[in-house]
């Protein structure tokens, strides 16, 4: 679906689009993947029902699974006069921070690191990872927001190649069991924040 949307956007036959979904358990390896970041063999992961895929996005290894909101952002940056990858990444971060705040969790960015973190002292706790690709200045891939996913699901990897961080989730930061309808609320908050910024359906 994402590839079709990208090709349609490049041909001028489709709009800018945000695709939101949850994946079955999987690990994706970005263009900066270092084999040292995968801590289990692919055979061992497959035996546990976790597939491994190469992905044409930035970054190293990350985990996707139920309880995580994944967003694929297909935007023609050239049509917007915004051919600046760093500015694009900072825009995604600011949208996620706004959405996370709307859900009652304090979040912030960390200079020199892509993604969104819980606003707390001590070891950085990552709430959202970002990894994008570009084809003729049309973006694809995007972000993964940890809503209720178990941080232990990230144990087979060094997340994003960052050994000094913890993985967190909205549920963990809210301090209890998942509030009813949290994933639906997260979808709505993310949709609202991105639509306001990018006007993407």
Give catalytic residue positions: 160
Residues paired with residue 38 on neighbouring β-strands, in sequence order: 157
- Cβ proximity of 137 and 78 under 8 Å: yes
List the structure tokens of 154: 């990230």
CA distances 167 to 5, 27, 111, 154, Å, are 31, 15, 18, 8
Spatial distance between the Cα atoms of 117 and 169, rounded to a whole number of angstroms: 10
Rounded to the nearest angstrom, the gap between the alpha carbon of residue 17 and the centroid of all alpha carbons in its chain is 15
Rounded to the nearest angstrom, the gap between the alpha carbon of residue 29 and the centroid of all alpha carbons in its chain is 13
Spatial distance between the Cα atoms of 47 and 147, rounded to a whole number of angstroms: 26
- As to burial, measured by CB atoms within 10 angstroms (0-12 exposed, 13-18 middle, 19+ buried), residue 129 is buried
Spatial distance between the Cα atoms of 20 and 187, rounded to a whole number of angstroms: 7
Measure the CA dihedral 140/145/150/152, to 10°: 60
């Amino acid at each position: 679906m994402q590839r079709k949307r990208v090709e349609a956007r490049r041909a001028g036959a489709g709009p800018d689009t945000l695709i939101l979904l949850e994946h079955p358990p999987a690990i994706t390896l970005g263009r900066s993947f270092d084999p040292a970041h995968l801590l289990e063999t692919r055979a061992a992961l497959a035996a546990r029902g976790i597939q491994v895929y190469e992905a044409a996005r930035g970054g190293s290894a990350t985990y996707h699974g139920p309880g995580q909101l994944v967003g694929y952002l297909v935007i023609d940056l050239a049509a917007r006069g915004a051919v600046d990858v760093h500015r694009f990444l900072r825009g995604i971060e600011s949208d996620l921070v706004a959405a996370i705040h709307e859900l009652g969790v304090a979040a912030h960015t960390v200079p020199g690191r892509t993604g969104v973190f819980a606003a707390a002292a001590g070891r950085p706790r990552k709430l959202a990872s970002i990894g994008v690709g570009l084809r003729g200045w049309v973006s694809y891939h995007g972000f993964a927001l940890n809503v209720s996913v178990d941080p232990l699901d990230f144990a087979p990897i060094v997340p994003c190649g960052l050994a000094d961080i913890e993985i967190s989730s909205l549920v963990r930061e809210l301090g209890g069991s998942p509030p009813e309808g949290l994933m639906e609320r997260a979808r709505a908050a993310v949709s609202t924040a991105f639509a306001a910024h990018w006007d993407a359906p």
